[in-house]
Structure 1
Amino acid sequence: MFYKEIFSFIAIAITLAAFIPYIREIFRGTIRPHIFSWVIWGVTTLLIFVAQLEDHGGVGTWPIGVSASITIFIAYLAFIKRADVTITCGDWLFFIAALLSLPLWYWTSDPLWAVILLTAIDVAGFGPTVRKAYQFPYSESLLFFALFTLRNVLVMLALENLTLTTLLFPAVMLVLCILMMAMIAYRRRVLFA
């Protein structure tokens, strides 16, 4: 199963290729990550990584672990740079609901239920970013979401144990990345019309 390691290393390279320019653009001020989304994504991705390891996801989980670490760093950057200071009541609702839901994963003795709950929380984390990107479609990177779409395909190909526990998160993230790209591209066209 050497090819799974190759897929995993390529997925890690794509993860870095997506994050490095994204982080660079944060420092330049052209990308403004929403702190609530990135805190939620960092925590849930880390916990999903642990659950996937427990379900013997093997090398296919490595890119998720790398992603979790970098996502937590971006949450930190969003905080120190005060990248997006526009926080609505809806953003607070998504954030509070996600944080209050986090302990639920702990009480499940089954990694599948943990991944289901954490993936749902991660999806809720998209709420503030979707709202922000809809209003300001140039505040997010199409390339970032395109690279993560490809990354998630490679993660699924690299998984050593193909179960709902290991496949659910990357599959859902793949779909969400495609939807984000479509929404951002649409909004950019509408703004120029």
Structure 2
Amino acid sequence: MSFKEFLSAVAITLTFVAFYPYLRGILQGQVKPHVFSWVIWGSTTLVVFLAQLQAGGGAGAWPIGVSGAITLLIAVLAYFRRADLRITRADWFFLIAATSSLPLWYATSDPTWAVVVLTLVDLLGFGPTVRKVYAAPHSESLAFFGLLAARNGLVVMALESYSVATVLFPAAISAACLLLVCLILYRRRLLSATSR
């Protein structure tokens, strides 16, 4: 096993470590994911996985593929478990913006453009969750998004070739997860201080 494959295996392990309690939290009704965010994230993550493979990402792309499959499972659970189905106009905007950018990738047929477009789409997917976390910061798992930030850092290190097509997605998602962790901490602290 090469060092890159080892890093990929660690990143896949972190993926399962992050997702297991998140999935359990959904089933127990403690975590209430926003269905639109997870549909956007699952769809884009799987397409980015395919684009990374085409661009030579190798073992570093494997955790992205695993994550995409689990993310779509969470979208299904969010819908069927009625986690968070409150849909606002802003949420519809994020979903429409996300899905309307997919034909652009198809038209370019370039993995770099695919990853650029899909990274932007995936970042738009954070919109409904940011809105939800701002209002209800205890409705999301702090550890989950922290582990995903770390996992994506490992994904970057596990990549077998470095280019915009291979690095942009995991680096941007890592940064977005870190920002979401900061927002959750800030809003929890603020709500705790105002409830005293």
TM category (shorter chain) comes to over 0.9
Deviation at 1:85, TM superposition (A): 2.2
CA RMSD of aligned residues (A): 0.8
Deviation at 1:95, TM superposition (A): 1.0
Instruction: Give the match's secondary structure for 2:125.
Output: helix
Rounded Cα–Cα distance in structure 2 between residues aligned with 1:17 and 1:104: 34
Give the counterpart letter for 1:8 in structure 2.
S
CA contact 2:79–2:85 (8 Å) conserved in 1: no
2:108 corresponds to: 108
Rounded Cα–Cα distance in structure 2 between residues aligned with 1:117 and 1:160: 22
1:78 corresponds to: 78
Give the counterpart letter for 2:41 in structure 1.
W
Q: How many residues align?
A: 193
> Taking structure 2 as the reference length, what is the TM-score of the superposition?
0.97
1:45 corresponds to: 45
Percent identity, please.
57
Give the counterpart letter for 1:20 in structure 2.
Y
Question: Stretches of 4+ moved more than 3 A in 1?
Answer: none
Q: Deviations over 1:70-110 (max 9, x none)?
A: 00100000111111022111111111111122221111121
Rounded Cα–Cα distance in structure 2 between residues aligned with 1:15 and 1:157: 15
Give the counterpart letter for 1:132 in structure 2.
K
**Does structure 1 residue 189 correspond to structure 2 residue 189?**
yes
1:27 corresponds to: 27
Q: Deviations over 1:24-53 (max 9, x none)?
A: 000111100100000000000000000000
1:89 corresponds to: 89
**Does structure 1 residue 169 correspond to structure 2 residue 169?**
yes
